[in-house]
Amino acid sequence: MARRAQSKVATVKDERAEVKNLLSDRLKDKTVIADTSALLIRGTDLLRSLPACHLVIPVVVVKELEGKRQSDTVGFLARDWLRLLEALRVEHGEGLAGKVEIPEGYTNERIVISIEPNHSSQEVLPKQLRDGSNDSTILAVAKAFSAELKGDQVALISNDVPMRIHSTLEIKVPAYEVSSATIDAAKPFSGRIEIEIASEQVDELFSNAGYNAAELEAVIAAELNGDVFHALVDITHDGEVLKSVLYSSEFGIEPLPKSGNRAKGISPKTEEQRVAMNYLLRGSKELPIVSIAGSAGTGKTLLTIAAGLEGVKKGEYQRVLVFRSLHEMGAGQEMGFLPGGVDEKMAPWSGAVTDSLEVIARGAKKGGQKPAKAEIDALKADVEVSPISYLRGRSITDTFMVLDEAQNFSRNELLNILSRAGEGTKVVLLADPAQVDNRFLQTGPRAEVWSVIDSLKSSGLYANVTLVKTERSAVAELASSILAR
């Protein structure tokens, strides 16, 4: 092959490299003071985004990490750091107050780390910053190191805006936000990849008879390089799509699913929906984890419930089990305690599922007549909606398990939910990252569900697709496009 194709996968890698290089330019070989907010962005995964440097953690930050251990949202990140620091203490003892090297596996470059018990006197700060707070103590550590090592050898990393302002303007230590250095800085993996081929490759790959499957598979495999296992791939030249195919590292190229791929009478309308239905209808042994991202009204829940009920009908699963996020939309909109048992309490959270069942029941009737309540209840018999609160300790087998509103869960919670899947269970994550109701999580490209998708995408057990066309209404499509921006 004359020339290797250029792809958006490569572009994403380049974007990450640019961010890393930017961070390297600012922090390489410097003494880097870290505050708690910086450490809790990605736990010890942050170390993979740092260049070679001396990372200093003030002892007051260790105290703050201990205080965050039980947090529902960042507790696992705090514990991640505390485990690493404890392992270093056991190995090096009092040497941890000096400089000890981070073990292999935590970082891509040589980073030394120390816990700083000294330099905590706030007398080195301007009077207006001597308030006895932990933030001021961290600034005092940065100021003391700056005086010892010369200012251009010291930097502060923090995701606290006032901290960065005080550091830059009042103690003259440069400060940087670190969230842009995490994996979230790259474009999230949508499940669809574009590969642009060179002019000389067009004739090699395509002819009047069709396309050379073996050569095309080689191009795709070379570009994905093991980073992605399942993908919808567009082969383009000069901006024109020459061919779209489904690709997997195990089976190679597959034709795109046809529109006749139905479940419980529901037919996918768009190309992405057809791919989603294809993934959903694959058995739990072949593809046990699927995620479907997309804005409101793109059909995530409808397609998934229909596929789940189809699986129950065919005897592949015993039931459809839907776990819902119990986060209410908007601050100050809380309803308080709800009366009744679990089923009654869950009724307000089951609306999306009930709506989908009504559409499925309507589609089964001739002429689109309104279904009777008994017909909807018959479908409900195979569907259980449950709060996530009761998932701890369970092992769920032979179930089509759906996690709706997955964007409202932290990375740790999502991985814990996946760990509950037993034999014969298929797990489907549904997410609209533009609409995060959990006030402790970020939205859009930095939603934590993207981090889980990025971690899973190279596994043959997993496939992701993002639905892009809103089918609900023109109003819903307009609102969704604004939210996404």
> In residues, how long is the chain?
485
**Spatial CB neighbours of 453, under 8 Å, sequence gap ≥ 6:** 188, 189, 291, 293, 464
Which pLDDT value is given to residue 229? Answer: 96
Higher pLDDT pick, 482 / 419: 419
pLDDT band at 276 (very low <50, low <70, confident <90, very high): very high
Rounded Cα distance, 213 and 15, in Å: 30
pLDDT of residue 99: 93
The ranges assigned to domains in the chain are 13-184, 188-256, 269-329+337-484
Mean pLDDT of the 29-56 span: 89
333 pLDDT above the threshold of 80: no
Between residues 203 and 275, the one the model is more confident about: 275
Helix/strand/coil percent split, the chain, to 5: 45, 20, 35
Q: What is the pLDDT of residues 356-408, one digit of tens each?
A: 888 888 876 666 677 778 888 888 899 988 877 667 678 899 999 999 989 98
Which tokens is 51 given?
């260049």
In this prediction, residue 4 has a pLDDT band, given cuts at 50, 70 and 90, of very low
Query: Considering the entire predicted model, what is its pTM?
Result: 0.67
Report residue 16's pLDDT band, with 50, 70 and 90 as the boundaries: very low
The predicted structure's pLDDT at residue 348: 54
User: 424: buried, middle or exposed (CB in 10 Å: 19+, 13-18, 0-12)?
Assistant: middle
pLDDT at 38 over 80: yes
3-class SS of residue 247:
strand
pLDDT tens digits, 225-274 = 899 999 999 999 988 999 999 999 999 998 888 777 889 889 898 999 99
Return d(Cα 420, Cα 393) in angstroms, integer: 8
Q: What DSSP string runs through 161-176?
A: HHHHHHHHHHS---EE
CATH of domain 269-329+337-484: 3.40.50.300
Categorize the per-residue pLDDT at 107 as very low, low, confident or very high, splitting at 50, 70 and 90: confident
- Which percentage of the chain shows pLDDT scores above 70? 82
Instruction: Look at 78-82, 121-125, 181-185 and tell me which has the smallest mean pLDDT.
Output: 181-185
Burial code (b: 16+ CB inside 10 Å, e: under 16) for 253-284 equals beeebeeebebbebebeebbbbbbbbbbbbeb
State the burial class of residue 191 (Cβ atoms within 10 Å of its Cβ: 0-12, 13-18, 19+). Answer: buried
113 Cβ contact list (under 8 Å, min separation 6):
54, 55, 56, 57, 88, 96, 99, 100, 101, 102
Among 440, 432, 385, CA closest to 413: 440
Closest by CA to 410, choosing from 434, 454, 441, is: 441
Cα dist from 181 to 27, 167, 208, whole Å: 12, 20, 47
Which one-letter amino acid corresponds to residue 439? R
* Average pLDDT value for residue range 438-448: 75
For 2-33, the DSSP string reads -S--EEHHHHHHHHHHHHHHHHHHHHTTSEEE
Helices 411-418 & 75-92 angle (0-180, nearest 10): 90
- Count of C-beta atoms within a 10 Å radius of residue 121: 13
- pLDDT score at 367: 60
CA torsion angle for 39, 45, 51, 57 (degrees, to 10)?
Answer: 30
Return the pLDDT at 7. Answer: 43
Give pLDDT, residue 42: 75
Categorize the per-residue pLDDT at 11 as very low, low, confident or very high, splitting at 50, 70 and 90.
Answer: very low
> Radius of gyration of the chain from Cα atoms?
26
284-325: pLDDT as tens digits: 999 999 999 998 889 999 999 999 999 999 999 999 999 877
The tens digit of pLDDT for each residue in 46-63 reads 887 888 999 999 999 999
pLDDT, one tens digit per residue, over 338-361 is 455 555 555 555 667 878 888 888
How far, CA to CA in Å, does 470 sit from each of 22, 273, 328, 383, 466? 37, 11, 23, 25, 12
- pLDDT, tens digit, for every residue of 112-155? 999 999 888 999 999 999 999 999 999 999 999 999 987 689 99
Query: Which tens digits make up the pLDDT trace of 470-483?
Result: 765 566 556 656 65
Q: Where are the beta strands (DSSP E) in 249-374?
A: 252-254, 289-294, 319-324
> What SS3 state is found at 110?
coil
175-176 sheet: strands from edge to edge: 100-101, 111-116, 53-58, 31-34, 154-157, 175-176
Judge whether 349 and 327 are in contact, CB under 8 Å.
Answer: no
At 178 the pLDDT is 79
CATH number, span 13-184: 3.40.50.1010
Same fold, 13-184 and 269-329+337-484: yes
**CA angle, 419 then 425 then 428, to 5°:** 75
Average pLDDT, the chain: 83
Q: What's residue 330's pLDDT? A: 46
DSSP 127-151: GGG-S--HHHHHHHHHHHHHHHH-G
Measured distance CA(402)–CA(350) in Å, rounded: 13
Q: Mark residue 244 as left, alpha or beta (left: phi above 0; alpha: psi -120 to 50; beta: remaining).
A: beta
DSSP letter assigned to residue 387: E
- For residue 8, is pLDDT > 50? no
The pLDDT, as a whole number, for residue 246 is: 94
From residue 481, how far is each of 427, 434, 470 by CA, in Å?
Answer: 28, 9, 9
Phi, psi of 215 (to 5 degrees): -65, -40
